[in-house]
Every structure is written in structure tokens, then in C-alpha cells.
Amino acid sequence: MNDVLFKDEVFAIQGAIFEVNREMGACFLEAVYQECLAREFELRKIPFFQHKSIGLIYKGEPLTQVYQPDFLCYDSIILELKVCQEFSSAHRAQILNYLKASKLRLGLLINFGAHPKAQIERFVL
């Protein structure tokens, strides 16, 4: 089976990411890319939430701490934005933990600090 999880949705998200990168270039603050990406998602009618709270559980009990991903698109895909020279193992561990905590299956780690184009890594649980 060669089905790619959320193939069409990820294609749409990637188009928005690359448009923001084309328009803005690399290495602004993360908040700048977040605002631009939200506007691009609206223009492209990509459903999303910014900083939607996702509850965390420890040994079956809810924690008061919550996780707030940069974006949750299509109610199914977590997006975590970075502006860095390259992804670290900590960045990768972060998105994997977010997927585990949220019980979602797909996450995209996005780096707007890469040149000449944004870097995207896909994570599937």
C-alpha cells in the first residue's frame, strides 16, 4: 500500500509555505512567518487553528499544562514552525512528542531559516 497520509492536504499546506517563503525570504522572526502563513491559509481556504490547546495526560490523569501547536490544519495535521540554520534532534523530538500527546498521526516541521527555500520534514506516528 503506497497511500500517503493526507497527501492532498499536505500538498496544499506546502504550497502556502512556499508562497510565504517566496514572498518574505528567509530568517525573519518565527512570529512573522506565523502571521503570514495564517493569512496565506485564509487566502487558500485551508482550515486551521493557531495555538489551539491540546490537553496532556500523565498516568491517566489530565495535566494543567497544555500543548499549543503553532498550527493545527484540517483538524489532523500539526505544524511546528522554526527559524534556524538546520533542524536539531530536539526539534524532531518535540514534534514527535506533540503527535504522541495529541494522538494525531501527522506533523510537519517547517524551517523558514533555510535558504533558498523553506525546509519541511514530515513525521508520521
- What is the distance between the alpha carbons of residues 123 and 125, in angstroms, rounded to a whole number? 7
Tens of pLDDT, residue by residue over 56-69, are 888 999 999 998 99
H or E stretch covering 76: none
Domain 7-124 CATH assignment equals 3.30.420: no
Confidence bin at 30 (pLDDT 50/70/90): very high
At residue 38's C-alpha, the angle toward residues 107 and 101, to 5°, is: 30
Tally helices (H) and strands (E) across the chain. 3, 7
Read off the C-alpha cell for 32: 512573522
Annotated domain spans of the chain: 7-124
What is the pLDDT, as a whole number, of residue 101?
A: 87
CA torsion sign, 31 to 107 to 118 to 87? positive
Q: Mean pLDDT for the chain? A: 94
